[in-house]
Amino acid sequence: MTADYDYDLFVIGAGSGGVRAARMSASYGARVAVAEERYLGGTCVNVGCIPKKLFVYASHYAEDFTDAAGFGWTAGAPRFDWKTLVANKDKEIARLNGIYRRLLEGAGVTIYEARATLKDAHTLDVGGRAVTAERILIATGGWPVVPGIPGREHAITSNEAFYLERLPRRAIIVGGGYISVEFAGIFRGLGVETVQLYRGDLFLRGFDGDVRRHLAQEMKKKGVDLRFNANIAKIDKAAKGLVAMLEDGSTLDADVILYATGRAPNTDGLGLEAAGVERRPDGAIVIDGNFRTNVPSIYALGDVTHRVELTPVAIAEAMAFASTQFKGVARTMDYALIPTAVFSIPPIGTVGYTEEAAREHCGPVDIYRSTFRPLRGTLSGSDEQTLMKLIVQKSTDKVVGCHMVGPDAGEIVQGLAVALKCGATKAQFDATVGIHPTTAEEFVTMREPVPAPAKQAAE
């Protein structure tokens, strides 16, 4: 650290990764500033994880009211008010924005509410003012992408979905990733006629095959009109809403068309070219294992690097960066066995290998799988099925994959992720006493593997 610069570290972007890197670096004695042109907290707090989870909670109450009857509860006809949900969500986001501001200011971080762009390896233009820093960290995240089809201006993304003036009667969700299935569940749970289109054979590419198939089955039962191998060719404005013409020539009417077909690293217009920072063809910033770009004084982490696009990953990367650069304790990011959840309805929790990947990388495996109706459904009358699955490497008996589709999947799999990170074996799972009656106990009571596929059995 040197006095030759205005700051020891300048962070571009005050999302989860940028804020954590700024705070921790300042706590280690660095002079730190952060620039944010939109909102403190980034995507996760403002138009991502937090508002999405709040909307998921809201959408599930329709089922909860129905389920209550089986347990003896009688209430009046439920009514939903979209404006109340949006207003209360906005209040919570504003509260979180304030917390982020206080955390930064309390750590001694200077906040610039302006756009920052690179002029060279150590100089930035921050709202028209030249600022210098010994190290610069880019943590500008990602941004939704809408394909360039005719009428794309009539579509929205997840960014706008949180601020709709009114709840649509008919919605089309385009995409096959976690954001698309989450919003399909949200809209359907709130009573919207919902169609989800995906250009492939089955959504959630990269997730376990059983998980993908099971979720599709459950979403269809809940009334989501899933259409695979389908895509929009163009969107037209109509007298009452929108008309989507599909590639097969058919049409669908909607009030809202939401694209969740991917996010691109938010790197355009940052001055990367001026500073000589290398990018991949998709716009992602190229970094090494210590988050350093090809320019020694410039670093990047989080979604802008297009590695693992999860908020907790960006935060963990920020901790490793700050420790290495300003605490003097070298740390690297471990990307193995990162758990994740999809807040679909029902939700997914997953950690470790999918069955398909395990068969490719782990040699022979045993698969333990259970599908059942949870206890709650016996009185509520719900026919929703929960799926639980363990993947065990035969040569070591290690549990190398754990997957669940069902209520509280994320909460349950978080604990199991610790076990997998510690190298737990199936024998240790079997030796663990279950908590009865819970859904989670199924993970320690599955005793017989499912029959192996013919190809593996012959090996």
* Number of neighbouring beta carbons within 10 Å of residue 205: 11
Compute the distance between CA of residue 393 and CA of residue 309 in angstroms, rounded to an integer.
27
Phi, psi of 217 (to 5 degrees): -60, -45
Residues in the chain: 459
Q: Give the residue among 443, 338, 66 at the shortest CA–CA distance from 223.
A: 66
| Inter-CA distances, 271 with 12, 268, 290, 298, Å | 12, 8, 22, 12
Name 242's bridge partners. 237, 254
Separation of alpha carbons 411 and 440, rounded Å: 10
| Phi (first) and psi of residue 398, to 5 degrees | -75, 140
Which H helix or E strand runs over 246?
strand 241-246
C-alpha 362/C-alpha 352 separation (Å) is: 12
Q: Which two tokens stand for residue 334?
A: 């471990």
Please provide the DSSP assignment of 137-184 as one string: EE---EEE-----TTGGG-B-HHHHTT-SS--SEEEEE-SSHHHHHHH
436 catalytic per annotation = yes
Catalytic one among 154, 214, 306, 436?
Answer: 436
Q: Tell me which residues are annotated as active site.
A: 436
